[in-house]
């Protein structure tokens, strides 16, 4: 009887050891899979398809920069993906050298002809209150109605009226610091409008750059 009881205890002990080892390797494998998946498919909360879009736009911007005779900052660019909802971070500070996102934040789009528009409508017409797609050169800072702001010079036919439309990069308190998706944020009158806190993070990047930084609004 003692021998049977001792054998059962030994078997139970071995079973416990097997379970612990199996659980350890299962957890390690699951953790590594989850970690690697997260690392490969998530950057600043973006899905793989969204990071792919950013990479493709960055590649196009690099081609543009290669033809611009080094007129602009070739290391850092600002990318705004209007395909994303306004409650998600869609303003990206992009490292062109490392193909990576350095900062991300919310940005408002224009209200257009409505008092409020959930989705952006694009136009280059003065008085339309719409956002305009295209590449911009970030110009000189100035102190305006919304505090420190930056002039935007449209470089494409889709946004070349930016100066006369008074389309500038500025902040406003209605833009939150954190994501609100699925709820949208406030609208602008066509300007890429960010939160005051996010502008303070963009300011040193713009001001320290020896060459103008490019901003690209795309959909």
Domain ranges of the chain: 1-41, 48-218
109-147 in b/e form (b: 16+ CB < 10 A) is bbbbeeeebeebebbbeeebbbbbbbbbbbbeeeeeebe
Give me the percent of the chain exceeding a pLDDT of 70: 80
pLDDT higher than threshold 50 for residue 216 = yes
Cα–Cα distance between 83 and 52 in angstroms, integer?
13
Are the C-beta atoms of residues 159 and 140 closer than 8 Å to each other? Answer: no
Any idea which of 20-24, 54-58, 125-129, 178-182 has the lowest mean pLDDT? 20-24
pLDDT class of 47 with cuts at 50, 70, 90:
confident
pTM of the model: 0.80
* Whole-number average pLDDT of the chain: 85
Alpha-carbon span 125 to 164, nearest angstrom: 10
Q: In this predicted structure, which of 10-19, 34-43, 87-96, 154-163 has the lowest mean pLDDT?
A: 34-43
CATH architecture of structural domain 48-218: Beta Barrel (2.40)
Question: Scanning the structure block, which residue is given the tokens 């992009």?
Answer: 94
- pLDDT given for residue 24 in this prediction: 37
146 or 28, greater pLDDT: 146
Higher-confidence position of 30 and 71: 71
Instruction: Quickly list H helices, the chain.
Output: 2-41, 48-66, 196-208
* pLDDT tens, residue by residue, 153-204: 999 999 999 999 999 999 999 999 999 999 999 999 999 999 999 999 999 9
């Amino acid at each position: 009887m003692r021998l049977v009881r001792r054998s059962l205890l030994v078997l139970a002990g071995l079973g416990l050891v097997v379970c612990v080892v199996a659980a350890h390797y299962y957890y390690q494998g699951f953790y590594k899979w989850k970690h690697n998946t997260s690392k490969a498919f998530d950057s600043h909360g973006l899905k793989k398809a969204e990071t792919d879009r950013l990479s493709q736009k960055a590649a196009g911007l690099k081609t543009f920069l290669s033809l611009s005779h080094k007129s602009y900052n070739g290391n850092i660019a600002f990318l705004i993906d209007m395909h994303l909802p306004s409650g998600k971070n869609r303003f990206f500070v992009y490292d062109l050298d490392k193909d990576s996102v350095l900062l991300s934040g919310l940005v408002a789009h224009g209200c257009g002809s409505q008092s409020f528009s959930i989705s952006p409508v694009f136009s280059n017409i003065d008085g339309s209150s719409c956002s305009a797609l295209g590449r911009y050169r970030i110009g000189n800072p100035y102190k305006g109605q919304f505090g420190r702001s930056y002039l935007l010079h449209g470089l494409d036919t889709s946004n070349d009226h930016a100066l006369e439309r008074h389309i500038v990069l500025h902040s406003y308190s209605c833009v939150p610091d954190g994501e609100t998706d699925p709820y949208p944020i406030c609208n602008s009158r066509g300007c890429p409008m960010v939160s005051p806190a996010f502008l303070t993070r963009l300011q040193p990047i713009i001001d320290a750059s020896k060459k103008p930084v490019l901003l690209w609004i795309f959909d």
